[in-house]
Amino acid sequence: MWCLEKDFSFEACHTLVEGMDKCSRTHGHSFKCTIGLESKILQTCNSNTDMVINFNTIKEILNPIIEYYLDHHNLNETLNMDNPTCERISQWIYKKLMTTKLNTFLVFVTISETTSSRCTYFE
């Protein structure tokens, strides 16, 4: 079994409705996301052999999602959520990736909103 991990980052803002603390005000983060992909077999990808999937293919799938929904956006609006917590953002990205050709490999999505706070979603 092989597990690939691909990191990407994006800048975004959100407003959380839970609680009365400072997070209920609109604020931003430098989010980091890690996706985990696994396979029991290796494939031939773009004439390269012995890969789970080409990292460039992963990037080609991720870039439009990052650009259209995540980077420099208000996540309440683009993800259509009242409360876009790390938990909900990681689940949203996971579900979005399940509609791509990564669906047979996808294992988890981890979202970090700070260097010490993160959430991992998997099914």
How many degrees, rounded to 5, is the angle at CA 90 between CA 84 and CA 94? 125
Contact 83, 17 (CB under 8 A): yes
Catalytic residue, chosen from 13, 23, 45, 119, is: 23
Q: Give long-range contacts, CB 8 A cutoff, 24+ apart: 12-15.
A: 12/70, 12/71, 12/72, 12/73, 12/74, 12/75, 13/73, 13/74, 13/75, 14/74, 14/75, 14/76, 14/84, 15/74, 15/76
What residues have CB less than 8 Å from 22, skipping those under 6 apart? none
Asked if 113 is an active-site residue, the reply is yes
Catalytic residue, chosen from 27, 67, 72, 87, is: 72
Asked if 87 is an active-site residue, the reply is no
Where in the sequence numbering do the catalytic residues fall?
A: 23, 72, 113
